[in-house]
Structure 1
Amino acid sequence: MVPSERLKGIETFVAAADLGSFTAAASRLNLTTSAISKSVGRLEARLETRLFARTTRRLVLTDAGAGFYATCTRVLAELADAESILAADGSEPVGRLTINLPAAFGRMQVMPTLLEFCDHHPGIEPQVVFSDRFVDLVEEGVDIAVRIGTFRQPSEALGFRHLGTESLILCAAPSYVERHRGIESIDDLPSRDAILYGRADGATTPWRLNTGDGGVEHRVMRGRMVLGSAEAQVSTVKAGFGVAQLATWLIERELESGELVEILPAYRSPGLDLHLLWQRGRQLNPKINAGIRWLGERLRID
């Protein structure tokens, strides 16, 4: 098949799917209803697949049609991006920028920097999703993502930059330290005073403890509370309920104000790595290139 043949009918198909009607699609594209119907019919014949389940009131995508629609909309978006790159020629970056961020780090560390970026580039329209789940940038159409965690070399479709490694410390409220004087090692902690991070299934994140010889021990602790939010851990520890192992970026303000103090500093250890990721195929788009540069220069953790 001639490559240009593959594009025939895609725009009319997407318009009909978006609007649920050949008539509405015709109005949008300034064509006749008959022309839209015939275009979609030729596309279905070429694909040998029904894309719509036609009813008297509305067009409904079949399962095959829904899958094809997702691919078509992505292709059209990439073509639009390619055109904007050529048209921009170094001009001010504009348009929607889709960003995926880890929940706590995104809210506390990325958003202030992102707001500065938007103030500097008022034509940018950020669409930000906060999620700690794994995100497939290409499949989900994400322009830029920040990830904290175990990192494997991504596919050639993704570019990445290492932004640093967390520093994990054991911390508590001064009131807790006052009540539990004489704690000199991890084994001196009261057996049920750990405030742990965990999932809904009850699994908890082990503490990573410096062994003193360059190694790290992963120790499963017995917790007084298991919380599914790092920010909830901070609040609980500040209230004097126990000890948590937390990343310094999460509690830098509390450490500066004295609301939290580090205990047992000999156990301070490296935590998870922070990476910035993006789609290589889109990085020359002015808005994405600007976002990569801005976040890459300003999001550093130690």
Structure 2
Amino acid sequence: MISAERLKGIETFVATAAAGSFTAAAERLHLTSSAVSKSVARLEDRLGTRLFERTTRRLALTDAGVAFYSTCLRVLADLEEAEAVLAAQRSEPVGRLRLDVPTTFGRLRVWPLLLRFAQQHLQLRPHVTFTDRFVDLLEEGVDVAVRIGGPDHWPASVGHRSLGRERLIFCASPDYLTRRGTPLSSVELARHDAVLYGKADGTTSPWLIAHAPDAVERRTMEGRMTVGNAEALVAAAKAGCGIAQLATWLVGDEIERGELVQILPELTTEGLPLNLIWPVGRQLLPKVDAMLELLADLQIT
């Protein structure tokens, strides 16, 4: 069991590191400067390392002190959050919530929901990252994540909920179709300008063409334009640069406004699955449970 004296030593150390002097820390803690200095010295003796470099003019953290200070801040923040959860009787989302979402899907679909949610729960402190790379939930301290793609079977430590699968459609701008005509078959589709998604290694994503529910062709195209960003791909299609295959969640608004037109709907095919995932041990926290409920509304068809 951790003694109260050890916890006091950590509180004194953190206050001293933040204030930059024993005197300033003593004023914050309503102690004497001597008491603060002795508390820090006892902590250093117990740890067997110096946490501060002391000179007549300044007090500076050592390398070990910087690392220990960072750990102490995290521990104190966790204690503060635990107290806040208990004070809210486990009903109100409070504290820091770490959310990781795919870059474009997160900005277009998750971010508007989260902004409204944060306004409704002022004690919640969201920390949101937008990334398309693989993120280890436990290693990086993520509470909830949205994933496009992923394994068929998630590990037991990860809770998951399906949000559906992408639907990929072919579309182009009205201007492009006026100039070049509307393709009426997959054969004619191959004769048109293609706007493709390009990867960092120089390859392009093939078009997926559904000839039957269980027969999907992966067609490698020679693109007029290759773009490594989904929103830029939409902009290129809207500008009349060619035909693009895009997810409905990405272009639904553009099609509704008439800025893009779906073509060859019979060639619509399924894309990657979307999943909501979280560490199973954190689901009972009000902030995590509320976020899972909110993001369940992201169901796509």
What's the TM-score once normalised by structure 2's chain length? 0.80
Q: What are the within-5 Å matches in structure 2 for residues 1-302 of structure 1?
A: 2-4=1-3, 9-52=9-52, 56-62=57-63, 64-151=64-151, 158-178=158-178, 179-182=180-183, 184-185=185-186, 188-190=189-191, 193-212=193-212, 214-296=214-296, 298-302=297-301
Identify which range, 89-98 or 171-180, moves more after superposition: 89-98
SS in 1 for 2:212: coil
Residues 73, 156 of structure 1: alpha-carbon distance in 2 compared, 3 angstrom cutoff = farther
Any idea what the Cα deviations from partners look like across 1:87-125, whole Å, max 9, x if unmatched?
211554344444332222122212332244345434444
What is the alpha-carbon distance in structure 1 between the residues aligned to residue 127 and residue 150 of structure 2?
25
Residues 158, 14 of structure 1: alpha-carbon distance in 2 compared, 3 angstrom cutoff = farther
Identify which range, 64-73 or 78-87, moves more after superposition: 64-73
What is the alpha-carbon distance in structure 1 between the residues aligned to residue 154 and residue 25 of structure 2?
39
Residues 89, 252 of structure 1: alpha-carbon distance in 2 compared, 3 angstrom cutoff = same
Q: CA RMSD in A?
A: 3.3
SS in 1 for 2:255: helix
Shift in Å, 1:208: 3.4
Alpha carbons 2:249, 2:300 under 8 Å: kept: yes
Any idea what the Cα deviations from partners look like across 1:148-169, whole Å, max 9, x if unmatched?
2324755655433222211111
Report the count of equivalent residues: 298
Residues 138, 257 of structure 1: alpha-carbon distance in 2 compared, 3 angstrom cutoff = same
SS in 1 for 2:277: strand
Aligned amino acid, residue 169 of structure 2? I
Alpha carbons 1:166, 1:301 under 8 Å: kept: yes
Identify which range, 11-20 or 285-294, moves more after superposition: 11-20
What is the alpha-carbon distance in structure 2 between the residues aligned to residue 186 and residue 20 of structure 1?
72
Alpha carbons 1:84, 1:285 under 8 Å: kept: no
Shift in Å, 1:237: 0.1
Larger Rg belongs to:
2
What is the alpha-carbon distance in structure 1 between the residues aligned to residue 112 and residue 147 of structure 2?
17
What is the alpha-carbon distance in structure 2 between the residues aligned to residue 27 and residue 160 of structure 1?
49
What's the TM-score once normalised by structure 1's chain length? 0.80
Alpha carbons 2:169, 2:262 under 8 Å: kept: yes
Q: Which runs of 5+ in 1 are unaligned?
A: none
Any idea what the Cα deviations from partners look like across 1:28-53, whole Å, max 9, x if unmatched?
33344444444444444444445455
Identify which range, 79-88 or 46-55, moves more after superposition: 46-55
SS in 2 for 1:237: helix
Identity among equivalent positions (%) equals 55
Residues 3, 123 of structure 1: alpha-carbon distance in 2 compared, 3 angstrom cutoff = closer
Shift in Å, 1:20: 4.4
SS in 2 for 1:241: coil
Alpha carbons 2:157, 2:279 under 8 Å: kept: yes
Alpha carbons 2:176, 2:242 under 8 Å: kept: yes
Alpha carbons 2:182, 2:263 under 8 Å: kept: no
Residues 232, 22 of structure 1: alpha-carbon distance in 2 compared, 3 angstrom cutoff = farther
